[in-house]
Amino acid sequence: GSSDRLKFALPERSHQSEILAMSLATSVTRLDTSTGVAIDDPLPDTVLLAFLRGEGAGPKGRVLDEVHAFDMVRMEKEHDFIQWLFPTDEPSQFVEVPLLTETLQLVARDDKVILSSVRRSLDIFLAFLGLRIVSAPGEWLVKKANFQQRKKVCWTVTCAEGNHNWRRISRVLKSLNLFGLEAEARALFLCLERLWTTGSIPRFAEKTMVFWRDAAGMGDRSIPKYNAKATTACCLPKSGRL
């Protein structure tokens, strides 16, 4: 098909994102019927990339630095920012946000500014959960930080699904994989698995553990027994392999 021809016609990976980025139109022109004036509206694709680069507005007109400056109370109460910090290729049930399409994934994976922004967002979100990620020689490590202080807000059952922050975690795991940050996603899941096996999170999260595992791209990994002795550290080699 045409997509196959395009795939084989493209040059090496290092040049693909540049070509695709250049091919993306930045706006679409529409006629304002009330004034008769032509207006250029930014396309959703370019809006998302600009926000992730810190160059454009996202949720409610806020730029990336403004969202990163949210305190933990605001992060808990606001419900329209996590979809911009961690976009996926699926529509949100709650907020209208541009999708991270296959084309945008390719562009973003080769954009150091965007990847740096996503990693900064991950640091902030993990702190919100009471966790932190550490870069050690040859591996990523996600572990408890101020976990006890955040337990009431993030890790107790507060709704029929458990806790709305658990859904956020699923989004973060999937988004990290789409950005090519598989090692960080899997390191986070291994930490969640350890919290599960040590009884640090409620047994109610049993079904959620399956969602987290699949979102992390580790669908072939069995969910261990609850509150059993943990056999896996919360870390993963930076290569992304176990």
Confidence at residue 35, expressed as pLDDT on a 0 to 100 scale: 79
Residue 65 CB coordination number (10 Å): 10
CA–CA separation, 7 and 196 (whole Å): 42
Confidence at residue 32, expressed as pLDDT on a 0 to 100 scale: 66
Confidence at residue 4, expressed as pLDDT on a 0 to 100 scale: 36
Confidence at residue 227, expressed as pLDDT on a 0 to 100 scale: 85
Backbone angles phi, psi at 32, to 5 degrees: -75, 110
- Asked if 17 and 107 count as a contact pair (C-beta separation under 8 A), the reply is yes
> pLDDT tens digits, residue range 200-230?
999 999 999 999 999 999 999 999 999 865 4
**Closest C-alpha among 197, 179, 188 to residue 216:** 188
- Is the pTM higher than 0.75? The answer reads yes
CA–CA separation, 143 and 146 (whole Å): 10
Confidence at residue 25, expressed as pLDDT on a 0 to 100 scale: 46
Below-50 pLDDT ranges, the chain: 1-15, 17-19, 21-25, 27-28, 230-237, 239-242
Confidence at residue 16, expressed as pLDDT on a 0 to 100 scale: 53
Confidence at residue 140, expressed as pLDDT on a 0 to 100 scale: 83
- Strand order across the 139-144 sheet: 131-136, 139-144, 235-237
- The three-point CA angle 61-90-143 to 5° equals 80
Q: Where are the domains of the chain?
A: 46-216
